[in-house]
Amino acid sequence: MDQKIIITIDGLSSCGKSTLARQLARKLGYLYIDSGAMYRAITLYFLRNNIDWNEPEKVKEALKSINLEFKVNDYNLHSEIYLNGENVEYIIRDIVVAEKVSEVAAIKEVRSFAVAAQQNMGRHKGIVMDGRDIGTTVFPDAKVKIFMTADETVRVERRFTEMFEKNPNISLDEVKANIAMRDYIDSNREISPLRKAEDAIVLDNTELSEKQQLDFALNLVKQQLEPA
């Protein structure tokens, strides 16, 4: 597989997009870019610096001070996000950031900033990127587009398990409410709302194992890279 392509994975919250994207990238020798982590890092910066994101001019000014990059962790081989040189991969998973990220991600200036950065990261191809608008807005010409979905109950359980490890005080109801809120905001925002690209392949992983969904995605890539 010498030919490098761009692979996009979109879908609702807690569908396992990042898990699949990370495994797929590792299998192909591609760079994994977590677009959601970028919006979370921007949200973290705004929270830390008391930026009022309802004021466009303050948002524009704040974005000038933000530098985002991904580096591979030599220990676990995961692609992790850095905010102005600081590894914030785990800090951005906090519920405080999770509760505000969809609000921040809906801001026109923030999306323009993030999309430009994402497109720059993909200029050499050979990337797997997951998010909400990657196959529709960021890389509409991507060769492989996957739209992930899963039963709501399964999504809530997955996110609860993930967040409980970092915050044992979190409740199932809090997680359920957070996912419902994010789904609504992501699907109804004016700028780049979450929607399935016309040429995206739907992957419902409610009852699939990680291996099964990885095999499904690898098969899609193989079909694209094989000579016609």
Using a pLDDT cut of 90, give the percent of the chain over it. Answer: 71
- Radius of gyration, alpha carbons of the chain: 17
Q: Is residue 47 part of a domain?
A: yes
Q: What is the mean pLDDT of the chain?
A: 92
Higher-pLDDT residue of 187 and 2 is: 187
Give the model confidence (pLDDT) of 87-143 as tens digits: 999 999 888 998 999 899 989 999 999 999 999 999 989 999 999 899 999 999 999
- Which CATH number is 160's domain given? 3.40.50.300
Q: Is residue 225 part of a domain?
A: no
Using a pLDDT cut of 70, give the percent of the chain over it. Answer: 98
Total domains in the chain come to 1
Q: Is residue 228 part of a domain?
A: no
Q: Is residue 82 part of a domain?
A: yes
Q: Is residue 129 part of a domain?
A: yes
pLDDT attached to residue 79: 86
Q: Is residue 226 part of a domain?
A: no
**CA atoms within a 13 Å half-sphere pointing along the CA-CB vector of 208:** 19
Six token digits for residue 89? 């991969």
Contact 214, 20 (CB under 8 A): yes
Contact 88, 80 (CB under 8 A): no
pLDDT attached to residue 97: 95
Domain of residue 194: give its range: 6-218
Confidence of residue 227 (pLDDT cuts 50, 70, 90): low
pLDDT attached to residue 33: 92
Q: Is residue 42 part of a domain?
A: yes
Bridging pattern class, strands 79-83 and 86-87 = antiparallel
* DSSP secondary structure code for residue 91 in this structure: G
Cα 12 from chain centre: 10
Cα 57 from chain centre: 26
Within a 10 A sphere around the Cβ of 187, how many other Cβ atoms?
A: 12
Instruction: Name the strand (E) or helix (H) holding 34.
Output: strand 31-34
Bridging pattern class, strands 144-149 and 127-131 = unpaired
Locate tokens 């200036």: which residue?
109
Higher-pLDDT residue of 194 and 217 is: 217
Q: Is residue 48 part of a domain?
A: yes
Give the model confidence (pLDDT) of 155-168 as tens digits: 999 989 888 887 88
Distance CA 91, CA 164 (A): 14
Average pLDDT estimate for 188-214: 92
Confidence of residue 194 (pLDDT cuts 50, 70, 90): confident
pLDDT attached to residue 166: 76
pLDDT attached to residue 2: 62
pLDDT attached to residue 164: 86
Distance CA 142, CA 226 (A): 16
Average pLDDT estimate for 23-41: 93
Average pLDDT estimate for 28-51: 95
